[in-house]
Amino acid sequence: MLDRSSQPVTQAPSDPLSEVLQDFRLSGITYGRCELRHPWSITFSQQPLLRFHFVSEGPCWIHTEMHGWQELQNGDLVLLPQGVEHRLASQPDVAADTFDRCHVKRFGGNVCEVVQEGTGATSTLFCGSMALGAHALNPLIALMPPIIKGCDVAGNDPIIGPLIAAMTAESCERQMGSATILSRMADVLVARLIRCWVNCSGASTSGWLAAIRDPHIGRALAAIHRDPGRDWTLEALAAVAGQSRSVFAERFSAILGEGAARYLTRLRMQLARDLLRKNMSIAEVASHMGYESEASFARAFKRITSVSPGVVRRTKSGRMDMQIGL
């Protein structure tokens, strides 16, 4: 690894973050349109997925362990990148979970309508739960705060306001295809929220955010994440970065605290772990991650994770917390 190259290097775009977001897709999506009459309260448990809630019409409050209760206004959107446990309610004093009183109607795909009848004020929400289809975003999501309110970053992106207004109109019309249209809007809106957060999160001199912002290292980092199984060499990555081999190697280590070879290996092993848990064979994973033999892949996997690929594959239904830093 990182000692030879057999593939031509294509010129990378000048904006590394756009390169990372280029393949941004939401997968494994479930959407729910909620009409809830006060008093109501719904608890959302911790999950390894990104969640968002869009308030078309209130009242609505959100509670997280870190921030306590926060009131949401009409047109507010909240993003929970790591899917932390939280609660939505019509008022903070509605203590009991009322989901068992709701009528849930499922439509085609992963779309449902949730209705709680009553005589109080009506809250109309659009909620989504999703996985990220782009591995390049994983380290970025890990750095984000547990909750981001769209109104807090809307002033830094003139498109977010109109997007939210369009989602409000679409969620209220209840026409055929609304769920599909809203899901496409959600793709764009979440991507722009992530970009706004990156741009507004302050400057740093080291770490993943600093690396993706760097005009040279960021291009190489985005290329690694988009194609981790490629036969990358220091020369190839330096060419993507537009730097000499020595300058690139020194700069990469200075910003990320480790060399490009080590970073690439750790990324591959993280992705390999996910593939093994999806019942892909060890040989297939080895090939997918750019290894010429199953044995060389197995050695690298155990060196990084301290367990063998076979152990992970056999325990795919359970949880194995391997702290490999990505």
* Residue 264: CATH number of its domain: 1.10.10.60
Per residue in 220-266, pLDDT (tens digit) is: 998 888 889 999 999 999 999 999 999 999 999 999 999 999 999 99
166 and 219 belong to one structural domain: no
251 and 191 belong to one structural domain: no
Domain assignment present for residue 141? The answer is yes
Edge-to-edge order in the sheet of strand 26-37: 103-106, 111-116, 26-37, 122-132, 50-57, 77-80, 148-149
53 and 131 belong to one structural domain: yes
Tell me whether residue 135 is exposed, middle or buried, using C-beta atoms within 10 angstroms of its C-beta: 0 to 12, 13 to 18, 19 or more. middle
175 and 55 belong to one structural domain: yes
Alpha helices in the chain (DSSP H): 16-22, 138-143, 150-153, 160-173, 178-200, 208-213, 217-226, 234-241, 245-256, 260-277, 282-288, 294-305, 309-314
C-alpha–C-alpha distance, residues 122 and 66, integer Å: 28
144 and 269 belong to one structural domain: no
187 and 307 belong to one structural domain: no
Domain assignment present for residue 15? The answer is no
Among residues 141, 168, 200, the one where a domain terminates is 200
84 and 232 belong to one structural domain: no
Least confident of 22-31, 103-112, 151-160, 218-227: 22-31
Question: Phi and psi at residue 257, in whole multiples of 5°?
Answer: 75, 10
214 and 186 belong to one structural domain: no
Question: How many Cα atoms occupy the beta-carbon half-sphere of 273 within 13 Å?
Answer: 24
Q: Please count the structural domains in the chain.
A: 2
Residues 23, 134 contacting (CB under 8 angstroms): yes
Binned at pLDDT 50, 70 and 90, residue 21 comes out as: low
Domain assignment present for residue 67? The answer is yes
Tell me what pLDDT residue 300 has: 94
C-alpha–C-alpha distance, residues 79 and 270, integer Å: 25
Q: Are strands 148-149 and 68-72 parallel, antiparallel or unpaired?
A: unpaired
Among residues 200, 215, 230, the one where a domain terminates is 200
Among residues 148, 165, 200, the one where a domain terminates is 200
Per residue in 52-88, pLDDT (tens digit) is: 898 988 899 999 999 999 999 988 889 898 889 999 9
196 and 63 belong to one structural domain: yes
pTM (two decimals):
0.69
Tell me the two tokens of residue 71: 């009131």
Q: How far out from the chain centre does Cα 255 lie? A: 23
User: Residue 52: beta bridge partners?
Assistant: 79, 128
211 and 191 belong to one structural domain: no
Average pLDDT over residues 186-204: 75
Question: Phi and psi at residue 43, in whole multiples of 5°?
Answer: -100, 135
Residues 6 or more apart in contact with residue 81 via CB below 8 angstroms: 50, 141, 144, 145, 146, 148, 194
216 and 129 belong to one structural domain: no
55 and 130 belong to one structural domain: yes
Domain assignment present for residue 14? The answer is no
Q: Which domain holds residue 110?
A: 24-200
Domain assignment present for residue 64? The answer is yes
User: Residue 54: beta bridge partners?
Assistant: 77, 126
Average pLDDT over residues 114-119: 92
Cβ atoms < 10 Å from Cβ of 260: 24
